Amino acid sequence: MKFIKLSHGSGGVEMGDILSKLVFSKVDEKLKKVENGVGIDLPDDGAAIPLKNITNDYIILSTDAYTVNPPFFPGGNIGSLAATGSINDVVMTGGKPIAALDSIVVEEGYPLDQLEIIVDSMIDVFKKEGVALIGGDFKVMPKGNLDKILITTTVLGLAKKPIVDIPKDGDVLVVSDFVGDHGAVIMLLQMGVADKASELKSGRLSSDIKPLTRLLPLIDRFLDEINAARDPTRGGIAGVLNEWAKNSGNLIVVEDVPIRDEVRRYAEMLGIDPMYLASEGAAVFSVSAEVAEEFVEDMRDLGFENAKIIGKVKKSEKYKGFVLKKTEIGGFRLLEPPRGEIVPRIC
């Protein structure tokens, strides 16, 4: 490994390898987190800092850079994506988002009217979610030194305690909605077949970008029963489940994952498993079996009508750290962690 590849930013095996080499292996264990908090000791999109000298709460932090290509797509743009993505990372760590910072780097010659639409979209998301935009940065790169625009957002939140993101033996897996919508849309646009996809023109298929803050009452109510939570962005739900299986040392078995017919059809046409396609408005939880049915019903009451149970977490020495998916004919196949760059610049 002498050079950086696109796959090193894909959220899969290669990204884990490069982060381990460049960062995780070089940071002292004591400095991977604030005492009693959550940091890169459990790599995730969010971190937690206990406020033991002030309150019994935790600060939740998340920062992410957005390079999605193209910057405009059915259902949103890079601005709404940047705001929503970082808000959701805080929510999935158990926090209520309260403040944000942004950094915008744009290429010389980029149309000002398009930039204004992007920035307005980002601000509109923060406004609707009651998240204060408290600071930021703006830079311009010479033409040809940057591909259009890059936005980085950092969101801060507060939580009673963080969701540590390690499923337990016996847990039940729940998703809030269809998965893979965002990835399917970007895939069709990048592969130049969007003009042939009538679902995009009609609006039947668009990015699923939406803040997950509506789930906060549910998270607060079941906080002690939620052992892991994530929004399946890069690497899709397959990436999340494989990380959970590896981190917990358990076997994860999944069955009927909700995927739109349009997403499944286009993914299969292009030779891509939809389980690896990103979502930007869905959540997956690992919750105690005793509350799983009630958890799903309460989620539906909050407006997530497609919420459903999709699998279980089991202790298994033979299949420790593996993910198995039930097939249509009743057998099981290995759902491997994402490898390579399935759809580059998805977010």
How confident is the model over 103-162, as pLDDT tens digits? 999 999 899 999 999 999 999 999 999 998 988 888 999 999 999 999 999 999 999 999
Detail the DSSP E strand segments found in 38-91.
46-50, 58-66, 72-73, 76-77
* Position 233 pLDDT exceeds 90: yes
What's residue 54's pLDDT?
Answer: 63
Q: Which helix (H) or strand (E) holds 152?
A: strand 149-159
Over the stretch 1-53, which tens digit does the pLDDT of each residue have?
A: 678 787 887 778 888 888 888 788 888 888 788 788 888 888 777 788 887 76
Determine the Cα–Cα distance for residues 46 and 89; give it in Å rounded to an integer: 6
Dihedral (CA of 224, 240, 26, 146) sign: negative
**Residue 288 binned pLDDT confidence (cut-offs 50, 70, 90):** very high
| Superfamily (CATH H level) for 33-159 | PurM-like, N-terminal domain (3.30.1330.10)
Confidence (pLDDT) at 57: 86
Distances in Å between the Cα of 309 and the Cα atoms of 23, 183, 313 are: 36, 22, 12
For the CA atoms of 61, 127, 186, 309, what is the dihedral angle to 10 degrees? 70
Where along the chain do its domains lie?
Answer: 33-159, 172-334
| pLDDT surpasses 70 at 229 | yes
Specify the pLDDT at position 343: 84
How many percent of the chain have pLDDT more than 90?
67
CATH topology of domain 172-334: Phosphoribosyl-aminoimidazole Synthetase; Chain A, domain 2 (3.90.650)
- Residue ranges of the alpha helices (H) in 162-291? 181-190, 198-202, 216-221, 236-248, 261-269
Sheet hosting strand 96-107, strand order edge to edge? 46-50, 58-66, 149-159, 96-107, 132-141
What does the buried/exposed string (b/e) look like for 59-96 if buried means 16 or more CB atoms within 10 Å of the residue's CB?
bbbbbbebbbbebebbbbbbbbbbbbbbbbbbbbbbbb
Task: Give the length of the chain.
Answer: 347
User: What gap in Å lies between CA 323 and CA 335, rounded to an integer?
Assistant: 5
